[in-house]
Structure formats: C-alpha cells, structure tokens
C-alpha cells in the first residue's frame, strides 16, 4: 500500500512538472524507459471506467459475476494487461474469486462488500467496490401467492401456545419452523402433487371440517376412492399413540405424509398400471418456479427430495393445534379435573363425570382410551368392535387401533365433524355412544372368534363384551361434554388456509 501511494505521488509530480493536463502523450507511453519493465515514468494507474453496480444473490442459488465486466470496469491508458485481485468484507466464505470472476452461494440474508483491484504490470492499481446483497428471490412466490405468503414476514407456526394443563408436545426430530411449515402449507394445498392436478391433501383434509372430510370415503385421482374415512389432523404432536393411520402402519408422521402421494387412489404417484412414480413427481416439481424458491428458502438449496417434502409437510401438519375450547377454559379454572367446571352447564359437567368414570362406577369409561386433557388415543388400545369395511358389507377389519384426538369431533356451531370411525359408519355422536353402550358382536362363528380374540381387552368382562347400560339422559350428557372439546381458531386461522 505504501509503495502504491508513493508511486502515485510520483506520477502526479511528473504530470505537474510537465505542465500538461496529466494525460499521457504518445511519447510518454510505450513502456520501457527509465524503470524498465513497465515502470515508465509516464505510466499511469488504471482508472475505473465503468463502476460495478451492486449485485443481488438469491439465497441458495449459484451466483457468478464477472467483476471486470468483460474487461470494461477499468481502463489502462497504456493498454497494459491488468491483473485482478478480489477481496470480500466480511469474508464469510460464501463467495470466492478466480481472477475477476466471483462465484459462490449465499446461505442467508446479508451484504458482502467486494473490492476488485486492477493492477497494471507496474504495480499501479485502481480499485472499485460494490455490494453483493443476499436475499431470498421471492418473485415467483409473490407471483403465485401474492399477499398470502411473504417470505420476509412469515406466519407464526413455531409459537404453539398451550394452556398450562396441556403436556409438552412429543419431541420430534423435525421441529416446526415458520419456513418449513410455510413450504408444507403450499405442498398441502397444491393439486400439482397429484398425477392430474386434481387432488391435494386438502381435498380430503379440509380446514372447515377440522382437516377431515364429511364424505364416508374420500375421492382421489381418476375417481379412485379411499378404503377408509379421512382422519382429522388436530394436535398430532400431542398423542400417546405415536404411530399414524387408523391401523398405525406409519411409524411416524414424516413416514406417513408422503404415503398418500404414492397411493394409487389418492394422489396417484404409484408407479402402477403405467402411472408415474414419486421420482416423476420430483421432476415435475423441479419445473415449478415457486418450489425452487421455497425449497432454497427453507433448506438453503433448491433441491427437492422426498425427505425434504416429508419434513415440510409434517411441520405443517404438526403446526395445526386446537387448544382454545370451552373445556380448556374450564379446566384452567379448577385444580382437580374431576371437579365441576364453572363455565359448564349441569349436563356438560355430568357428561364429563360419565366420560371420566369407569363402568364399575356406572360411568362410560371413555377416559380409559381417550384420556384428557389431550383426548388422543391410548397407545395400547386395540379394536373397539367397529370392524366394518367401507363399501364392502362382507368385509371385516380387525386392525384399527388408533383414533384421531376427540378434540374437534364437533364444529364450533355444534354440527358433527363426522362421519365417525374408520369406516365412517356412524353419522352422529349418539350412534357412537350407542355403540359403546352395547357393542354388537358378529353372529358368524368364524368372525365372532376373531372378533373376541382381537377386541380391546378393556371392553371384555368375564368373557363377554361389556355393557354400559347408560340411560338416554346420560348418553345426551356425554355428547354434551364432547361438544365442549372444540376449538375456534383451527377453523378460521388463515395460516392454515389455502394459500393459492
Ligand atoms: C383422497 C383422500 C386423501 C388425500 C388426498 C390425503 N389423505 Fe390423508 N388420509 C386419508 C384417509 C382416508 C386417511 C386414513 C387412511 C387409513 O388409515 O388407512 C388419512 C390419514 C392421514 C393421516 C393420519 C392421521 C392420524 O392421526 O393417524 C395424516 C397425517 C394424513 N392423512 C395426512 C395427509 C397428507 C399430508 C396428505 C397430502 C400429502 C394427505 N393426507 C392426502 C385421505 C386422504
Ligand atoms: C378400549 C379403548 C376405547 C374406549 C374405552 C373408547 N374408545 Fe373411542 N375409540 C377407540 C378406538 C381404537 C377408536 C377407533 C375405532 C375405529 O375407527 O374403528 C375409537 C374411536 C372413537 C370415535 C371416532 C373418532 C373418529 O374420528 O371417527 C369416537 C367419537 C369415540 N371413539 C368416542 C368414544 C367415547 C365417547 C367413548 C366412551 C363411551 C369411547 N370412545 C371409548 C378406543 C376406545
């Protein structure tokens, strides 16, 4: 640096002596001369002719930029060949330079000041500085989602406030993040995830129905139907039973969420009967601009993989919580959950007591398997005598051992989020209570034997299926209590709604 300054002073002094305006005359130029090797007394430093404009680097995308702008950034009056050095401040390792060419990939929002120095052969140099600002490129996201998704002001999915009486959520290796759940929301609502752009997760998991479907079985691609009733997606991270699906065949939520995409009848990427495969879906999504941006935004690079889709979808599903019910309000006002809740009617409090008490105390015994305050299902429960197969009166299904949380079995307006059970065979809650009150045992001897062998042992007493003998009034009271378990915000919060 000191040499550079001294030479510059020297050059200026020479120019002053010559009385010229400082520009080189042909006689001055031409190298050689006094200092030899280009250190001519007439040599001048390169000058900036076209300053570099500031640059934008899209986070997660490859960035390259020629800071010499094809050799036009600097001019050297003598036409000396220039060599370039590039420095970064701060030098956070995101960018590097080969000659004047900068390349790299930004990982986060921020500015890096780049200084490019051009030096001629005689150690004279000039420098130009500009800024690379790294930010998310959200043009394609904005173009499709407008105001409903703003990557610089994401909806809050991470803060899932629960009342004090609610346990901590199950630990998952994939915690809910605002970016992940935002991508998950787009995937959840996107019909591009089906083979004919007709079906999304939300076709069968509808917000206004607590993320279930009022149809007994749901319709997927090309008129295909599901084998079972769709399940409400409420408080999935607050469950005693960690496996998913009615028969618990998915070991965890991440494992579950791409199964519907591979399902022949649901999203259709089954690879069967000439249908495309999951890999074909990934290729398809790679052609969608907003996914390039959203995956880069969420994961740092635009690559789309099944594991990333699972992570994002599971985060969105796990973000769906419902803890703003009248039950929660009442529970917060008492220390003993068995005590009457001040905000409940007499019937609701009676229903609560019946729900919580076992048959030995003339209760309905629901708490044995759907214990509050979460109302998820007991992890070791087995089937409860509902063995129907939707659409097949002759079929028998003994494998159903999971239920969604009993929160939000009713909408806030009191209409049921049914039909209920894996086969959607019960349209009303009264039918559900009637079932538990007197569980029907199949008469066909072969089916009867398997039925008794596989039914939940809690429902069997002295070799026979238990009878609750609830009165009409008591049944109504249990239903009244179940109505208090519904939240409000889950049906209306825009962060869980269709962003398209
Ligand atoms: C065509 C209708 C349909 C589509 C589309 C669909 N589902 Fe489902 N979903 C169902 C049905 C039916 C079940 C129950 C199936 C079973 O247990 O055999 C279910 C079960 C689930 C469960 C298990 C809930 C629990 O508590 O065990 C989750 C989670 C889920 N779906 C998420 C999704 C996601 C995410 C998508 C989109 C990738 C999706 N579903 C697409 C119908 C559908
Ligand atoms: C022995 C364990 C057990 C007991 C006791 C029990 N349940 Fe269940 N419950 C289950 C299982 C398992 C399912 C899923 C059954 C199916 O779909 O075949 C279920 C399903 C349900 C459903 C349907 C959920 C849906 O999303 O469709 C409702 C409602 C319900 N139970 C309410 C009750 C009530 C009310 C009581 C008390 C009268 C009760 N349960 C007692 C285990 C139990």
pLDDT digits (tens, 9 = 90+) for 468-493: 999 999 999 999 999 999 999 999 99
Cα–Cα distance between 300 and 309 in angstroms, integer? 14
> pLDDT at residue 9 above 60?
no
Count of CB atoms within 10 A of residue 473's CB?
A: 9
Instruction: Give the position, in ligand 1's atom list, of the atom nearest the Cα of 200.
Output: 5
**pLDDT tens-digit map of 298-311:** 998 899 999 999 99
Q: Are residues 41 and 35 in contact, defined by beta-carbon separation less than 8 angstroms? A: yes
Measuring from atom 32 of ligand 1, which residue has the nearest CA?
257
**pLDDT tens-digit map of 19-65:** 333 333 333 333 333 333 444 457 889 999 999 999 999 888 889 99
Q: Quick check: bond before 428 cis, omega within 30?
A: no
Q: Which residues line ligand 2 (CB under 6 A)?
A: 232, 246, 364-366, 368-370, 377-378, 381, 383-384, 386, 400-401, 403-404, 406, 409, 420-422, 432-433, 436, 456, 458-459, 478
Q: Per residue in 280-304, is it b (16+ CB within 10 Å) or e — as a string?
A: ebbebbeebebbbbbbbbbbeebeb
Residue 387 has a pLDDT of 98
Residue 305 has a pLDDT of 98
Q: Provide the token pair at 81.
A: 């060949």
Residue 41 has a pLDDT of 57
Question: From residue 231, how far is each of 80, 405, 417 by CA, in Å?
Answer: 74, 10, 10
Q: What is the Å distance from ligand 1's center to 404 Cα? A: 11
Q: Which of 265, 291, 269, 287 is nearest to 278 (CA)?
A: 269
Question: From residue 393, how far is each of 86, 300, 423 by CA, in Å?
Answer: 76, 51, 11
Ligand closest to Cα of 269 equals: 1
Question: From residue 221, how far is each of 75, 179, 263, 397 by CA, in Å?
Answer: 64, 29, 10, 25
Q: Quick check: bond before 90 cis, omega within 30?
A: yes
Q: Are residues 327 and 451 in contact, defined by beta-carbon separation less than 8 angstroms? A: no
Cα–Cα distance between 392 and 256 in angstroms, integer? 25
The rounded mean pLDDT for the chain is 91
Measuring from atom 2 of ligand 1, which residue has the nearest CA?
204
Ligand closest to Cα of 193 equals: 1
């Amino acid at each position: 640096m000191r040499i550079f300054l001294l030479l510059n002073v020297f050059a200026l002094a020479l120019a002053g002596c010559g009385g010229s305006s400082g520009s080189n005359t042909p006689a001055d130029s031409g190298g050689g001369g006094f200092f030899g090797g280009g250190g001519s007394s007439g040599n001048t430093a390169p000058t900036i002719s076209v300053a570099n404009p500031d640059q934008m680097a899209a986070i997660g995308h490859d960035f390259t930029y020629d800071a010499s702008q094809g050799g036009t950034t600097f001019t050297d009056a003598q036409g000396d060949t220039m060599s370039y050095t590039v420095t970064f401040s701060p030098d956070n390792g995101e960018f590097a330079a080969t000659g004047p060419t900068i390349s790299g990939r930004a990982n986060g929002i921020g500015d890096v000041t780049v200084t490019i120095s051009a030096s001629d052969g005689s150690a004279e140099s000039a420098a130009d500085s500009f800024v690379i600002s790294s930010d998310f490129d959200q043009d394609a996201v904005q173009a499709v989602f407008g105001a409903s998704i703003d990557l610089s002001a994401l909806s809050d999915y991470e803060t899932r406030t629960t009342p004090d009486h609610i346990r901590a959520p199950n630990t998952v290796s994939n915690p809910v993040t605002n970016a992940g759940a935002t991508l998950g929301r787009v995937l959840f609502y996107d019909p591009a995830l089906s083979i004919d752009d007709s079906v999304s997760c939300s076709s069968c998991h509808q917000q206004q129905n607590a993320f279930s479907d009022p149809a007994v079985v749901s319709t997927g691609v090309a008129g295909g139907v599901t084998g079972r009733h769709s399940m409400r997606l409420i408080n999935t991270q607050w469950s005693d039973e960690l496996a998913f699906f009615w028969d618990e065949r998915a070991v965890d939520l991440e494992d579950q969420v791409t199964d519907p995409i591979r399902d022949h009848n649901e999203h259709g990427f089954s690879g069967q009967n000439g249908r495309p495969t999951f890999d074909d879906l990934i290729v398809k999504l790679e052609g969608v601009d907003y996914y390039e941006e959203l995956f880069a935004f969420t994961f740092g690079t635009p690559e789309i993989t099944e594991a990333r889709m699972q992570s994002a979808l599971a985060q969105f599903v796990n973000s769906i919580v419902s803890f703003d019910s009248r039950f929660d309000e009442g529970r917060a006002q008492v220390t003993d959950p068995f005590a009457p809740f001040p905000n409940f009617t007499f019937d609701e409090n009676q229903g609560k007591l019946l729900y919580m008490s076992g048959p030995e105390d003339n209760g309905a015994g629901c708490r044995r398997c759907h214990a509050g305050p979460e109302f998820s299902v007991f992890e070791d429960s087995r089937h409860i005598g509902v063995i129907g197969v939707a659409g097949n009166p002759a079929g028998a299904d003994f494998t159903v051992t999971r239920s969604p949380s009993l929160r939000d079995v009713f909408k806030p307006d009191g209409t049921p989020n049914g039909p209920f059970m894996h086969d959607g065979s019960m349209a009303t809650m009264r039918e559900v209570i009637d079932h538990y009150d007197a569980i029907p045992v199949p008469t066909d001897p072969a089916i009867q034997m398997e039925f008794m062998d596989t039914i939940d042992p809690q429902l069997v007493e002295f070799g026979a299926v238990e009878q609750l003998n609830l009165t009409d009034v008591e049944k109504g009271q249990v239903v009244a209590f179940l109505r208090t378990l519904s939240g409000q915000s889950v049906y209306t919060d825009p962060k869980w709604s269709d962003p398209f």
